[in-house]
Structure 1
Amino acid sequence: MKYTLFCMSMLMLFACGTSQKIVDKPIIFDEERMQLTKEYLATRHGLIQDTPTIVPKMIVLHWTVIPTMQQTFDVFNPSQLPSRPDLATASSLNVSSQFLVDQDGTIYRLMPETTMARHVIGLNHTAIGVENVGGTADLPLTKAQIKANIWLAKYLSAKYPIEYLIGHYEYTNFEDHELWLETDDGYRTEKNDPGEDFMNAVKKGTQKLNLKAAPAKK
Structure 2
Amino acid sequence: MLKKTTDNCIKSLILSALLFSSCSSSTFRIFHKPIVFDDEREKLSIEYLESRHGIKKDRATIQPRMVVLHWTAIPDIERTFHAFYSPTLPEARKSISSASTLNVSSQFLIDRDGTIFQLLPDTVFARHVIGLNHCAIGVENVGSAKDPLTRAQLKANENLVRYLKTKYNIDYLIGHYEYQKFIGHELWKESDSSYLTVKTDPGKGFMRKIRTRLKDLNLKGAP
TM-score by length of 2: 0.87
Matched, 1:174 2:182: yes
Q: Please show how residues 11-26 of structure 1 align to structure 2 within 5 Å.
A: 19-26=27-34
Larger radius of gyration: 2
CA distance in 2 between partners of 1:143 and 1:18 (Å):
13
Contact 2:53 2:134 in 1 (8 A): yes
Matched, 1:41 2:49: yes
Which residue is 2:136 aligned to?
127
Look up the equivalent residue of 1:30 and give its one-letter code. Answer: D
Residue by residue, what CA displacement relative to the aligned partner does 1:76-103 show, whole Å, maximum 9, x if unpaired? 0000001213210000000000000000
Which residue is 1:208 aligned to?
216
Residue by residue, what CA displacement relative to the aligned partner does 1:107-146 show, whole Å, maximum 9, x if unpaired? 0000000011000000000000000001142x22100000
% same residue? 56
CA distance in 2 between partners of 1:18 and 1:133 (Å):
20
- 2:106 paired residue among 97, 106, 115: 97
| DSSP 3-state at the match of 2:106 | coil
| DSSP 3-state at the match of 1:125 | helix
Look up the equivalent residue of 2:36 and give its one-letter code. Answer: I
- 1:143 paired residue among 151, 163, 166: 151
Which residue is 1:50 aligned to?
58
1:18 Cα deviation from its structure 2 partner:
5.1
Which residue is 2:123 aligned to?
114
Determine which structure has the larger helix proportion and give its number.
2
CA distance in 2 between partners of 1:72 and 1:103 (Å):
12
CA distance in 1 between partners of 2:54 and 2:211 (Å):
31
CA distance in 2 between partners of 1:145 and 1:112 (Å):
20
CA distance in 1 between partners of 2:218 and 2:34 (Å):
31
CA distance in 1 between partners of 2:217 and 2:153 (Å):
19
Residue by residue, what CA displacement relative to the aligned partner does 1:9-51 show, whole Å, maximum 9, x if unpaired? xxxxxxxx75120000000000000100000000000011000
1:159 Cα deviation from its structure 2 partner:
0.3
| DSSP 3-state at the match of 2:133 | coil
Runs of 4+ in 1 over 6 A off after TM superposition: none
Matched, 1:29 2:37: yes
CA distance in 2 between partners of 1:122 and 1:156 (Å):
21
| DSSP 3-state at the match of 2:153 | helix
Look up the equivalent residue of 1:111 and give its one-letter code. Answer: L
CA distance in 2 between partners of 1:126 and 1:61 (Å):
14
